[in-house]
Amino acid sequence: MTGIQQDLTSLSRGWRWGHRKLPPHSAEPHHSFGERREFPTDWARSRPARAAREAILRGGLTPLMHRETTMRVDGLDVFDDLEGPVVIVANHTSHLDTALLLTTLPARWQRKVTVGAAADYFFDAWWRAIGSALVFATFPIERHGHGLSDTPAKLIADGWSIVMFPEGTRSPDGWTRRFRPGAAALAITHNVPILPVGIRGSYAAMPKGRSWPRPGRPPVHVRYGRPIQPREGEGTLELNARVAASIETLLDEDATNWYGAALRAAAKQTPASSGPQVAEWRRVWASTAGPRNTPTRSKAWR
């Protein structure tokens, strides 16, 4: 066999670096997969880590958020009569969302709140896992539905409140996507309230693909709603629908006014937060406009 024939034979069989087998492990009949191990985050909730996080949030992240964005926060009075733990649920359009929530929470809630983060994104590299766990008190969540851990249950039992984004990932166009029922199931199982939060403007400030907010201090609004307590005998899907409707009302209220949003909610005419069914570029264009920070009159009541 000549050299050319040998080359052609090797090419026809397929070149394999290091003579790696062509079939993937999943196609092998007797391959056994190792058990997935959850990245340990207990250390991030220890007293030294909590002290470090408080210093980072108050001395670094909060001033940074105020410097890079024009924040407006409404509804903080809901915390006056609220006792933890709770499941804090918000819409998700930007990596700014976690920072917005943690820097706007009252101090006593900041000290004992943790964030469920995608294991395949925030915990795929040790340096990112350690950084997010230290700064945001994150713990890994398998958003693809496999390998669900008992960490959230342990955290609630220990008195920690949990921030969850039920859409599972950031919106690609600034509008909300389908809410997954994980947060509702957690609230029902442990009989804790869900605190809905509507966030507007974070997509316009830092959309997917950007690693820093846009220049010019774009406006971002964070609006906390009234806690939603699971009803006796209520199913996961029913509670999940109530939470999604509450966040839609909060977004509508922020875009218009409290009274008009309340009337539309009572009549079940709240505009869908999933946005108009138009071309993708038009959806993105509408989201990049962001909210406007206009002066508001003092409210006689809330």
pLDDT tens for residues 234-253?
999 999 999 999 999 999 99
Measured from the Cβ of residue 257, the count of other Cβ atoms closer than 10 Å reads: 13
pLDDT at residue 53 above 80?
Answer: yes
CA–CA distances in Å: residue 204 to residues 212, 224, 284:
12, 20, 9
Confidence class of residue 10 from pLDDT cuts 50, 70 and 90? Answer: low
Query: Higher model confidence: residue 127 or residue 257?
Result: 257
Q: What backbone torsions phi and psi does residue 36 show, to the nearest 5 degrees?
A: -70, 135
Instruction: Provide Rg for the chain, Cα atoms.
Output: 23
pLDDT at residue 11 above 90?
Answer: no
CA 60 to chain CA centroid, nearest Å: 21
pLDDT of residue 140: 87
**Distant-in-sequence, close-in-space partners of 247: CB < 8 Å, separation ≥ 6:** 89, 90, 91, 176, 196, 197, 198, 225, 273
The mean predicted confidence, pLDDT, of the chain is 85
Cα separation of 228 and 244, whole Å?
11
Please name the residue that has the structure tokens 């006056």: 80
pLDDT at residue 301 above 60?
Answer: no
Delimit the domains of the chain by residue range: 42-288
User: For the ranges 7-21, 71-85, 93-107, 201-215, which has the lowest average pLDDT?
Assistant: 7-21
User: For the ranges 14-18, 262-266, 278-282, 287-291, which has the lowest average pLDDT?
Assistant: 14-18
Cα separation of 172 and 274, whole Å?
12
pLDDT of residue 58: 92
pLDDT at residue 76 above 70?
Answer: yes
Q: Is the peptide bond between 276 and the residue preceding it cis, with omega within 30 degrees of 0?
A: no
pLDDT of residue 144: 59
Confidence class of residue 214 from pLDDT cuts 50, 70 and 90? Answer: very high
Cα separation of 247 and 252, whole Å?
9
Query: Higher model confidence: residue 147 or residue 53?
Result: 53
Q: Which fold has domain 42-288?
A: Glycerol-3-phosphate (1)-acyltransferase (3.40.1130)
Cα separation of 64 and 58, whole Å?
10
